[in-house]
Amino acid sequence: MKPANHSLLIGAVMFAFNALAEDAALRPWKDTQGRILQAAFVSATVESVTVKMSDGKEHQIPLARLSAEDQAFVKSQAPVPTPVAPTAQGTTPVVSASSLIRTPIDKRTWPENVIVPTKSIEIQIVEENPAARKCIYRSEGFEFTSQAKLAGSVMKEVARTFEATKTLVASLPWGVVCRPPEGFERYQAALFETRNDYIAAGGPENSGGVYMSGDKIFRVPFPSIGLKLLGKTYAKDADYDGGTLIHEITHQVMDDYLTFLPVWVIEGTAEYTEMLPYNAGKFRADAHKSGIRDHIKEVEKRGYPIDIGNLEAHMTMNRATWSGIADTSNKKMGELYFRSVLILYYFCHLDGVKKDGDKQGTHFIKFMEAVYGETEALRTFFKDPRVKHFPDGRFSYPKNFPPPDMNGETAPFKHLTLLLNDRSYSQIAQEIIEGYKSIGIKISVN
């Protein structure tokens, strides 16, 4: 599909400059590209505003596509609830992953302790049919289809890691809105008793779990979620390390964003969440510095050099090139993941802090905000009645109403300029070296 040159109303109407001032209810709305539309305010949510055209038709506009002035106008007409202030202990309160309240960029902070809400892991039994190897359980944000019956306490422990990861991603200042894919009330997870069952269901042979964006299902075998058979019942292994699980759950709760992110950001964010200290539903998000140090020590033990290599090549690498390298060996794949989290950590915690006084991760947060705008445009597009959906997942649309850019060669790199911030790759490479040096880590970058 051709690169997007879409309008503010990507799933509604095209912008025009034809003034309709004779209707007093109408006002000019401007998008981030300066295009203007005359329409009347109807209502608003935390994500979009509904406007009425002169012909009486109503359309939704993603707030991320509006100018700052119009966003302020929307808030003045339908104020959005203000997030809870920091606690007396100075910790940033947990942001519910189910909440769609989005904090303005300049007010976002990096959380300290992120703890899964107790209500999130209350388990509902939907179906239990062990003979058919089909048991369905639900937590607040996930639906688990298991091949074996699991005790409520065990299922709660399984759900804890899923819900905690969702809470963490929603709490980070990346501004990610965690919501299930269209058509699902909850994120879907399929739990398999054995690795053979898992592989037969499409799980890669050399993996401990996988999120497949095609059918939106997270597949994982019991051993990978710390379940072991004791007699005739399954129990949760208290010593189990769920790092790989956290990695894949991060992909799942960021599903809306994957189309518009370079591979290094997709894997770097998942590696980032995995490296944070975690125990029993609690992430130590404020321990990111010790997390990256421990991660570096671990990969050094595996014989990986602390070397990002060619920064531009890595940051602009497409999926095909990435897969071609990763398929050559597990070590090559590990190097790609390692380089990704090194770059991501720099942009989140070291970029610009010492040089120009920027808040931690400002450029990356702005980048993610632009990506959020793309996800909203795509969501709006698919809701438009002109888009026809087919059972096999295909869709059609009028030639004069193209979707946002979903081309894997262009869409993921559209907003990289926000990260570069008028800097060359060689300049950023040097800043990465200096940034890591400031926390006592020697790193090589070209």
- SS3 category, 157: helix
> Closest by alpha carbon to 414, among 374, 376, 381?
374
Domain topology for 104-253:
Glutaredoxin (3.40.30)
The pLDDT value recorded for residue 6 is: 28
User: Which one-letter amino acid corresponds to residue 8?
Assistant: L
What does the chain come to in residues?
446
Instruction: Report domain extents, the chain.
Output: 8-81, 104-253, 271-446
The CATH number of domain 8-81 is 3.40.50.720: no
The two domains 8-81 and 104-253 share their CATH topology (first three levels equal): no
Q: Which pair of structure tokens corresponds to residue 234?
A: 């399954």
The pLDDT value recorded for residue 82 is: 35
Give the pLDDT of the chain (446 residues) as one tens digit per residue.
222 332 233 222 223 323 333 333 688 888 776 778 888 887 776 667 778 877 777 777 877 778 877 887 776 664 443 333 333 333 333 333 333 457 888 888 899 999 999 999 999 999 999 999 999 999 999 999 999 999 998 999 899 999 999 999 999 999 999 999 888 999 999 999 999 999 999 998 888 889 998 889 999 999 988 898 888 889 888 767 677 789 999 999 999 999 999 999 999 999 999 999 998 899 999 999 999 999 999 999 988 889 999 999 999 999 999 999 988 888 899 999 999 999 999 999 999 765 545 567 899 999 999 999 999 999 889 888 899 988 877 889 998 888 889 998 999 999 999 999 999 999 999 999 999 999 999 999 99
The pLDDT value recorded for residue 355 is: 53
CB burial class (10 A; 0-12, 13-18, 19+) of residue 301? exposed
Q: How far is CA 17 from the centre of its chain?
A: 36
State the Cα–Cα distance between residues 310 and 444, nearest whole angstrom. Answer: 10
User: Which one-letter amino acid corresponds to residue 262?
Assistant: P
The pLDDT value recorded for residue 1 is: 26
Residue written as tokens 């790759």?
Answer: 425
**Model confidence, pTM:** 0.76
Q: Are the beta carbons of 64 and 369 closer than 8 angstroms? A: yes
Q: Are the beta carbons of 407 and 3 closer than 8 angstroms? A: yes
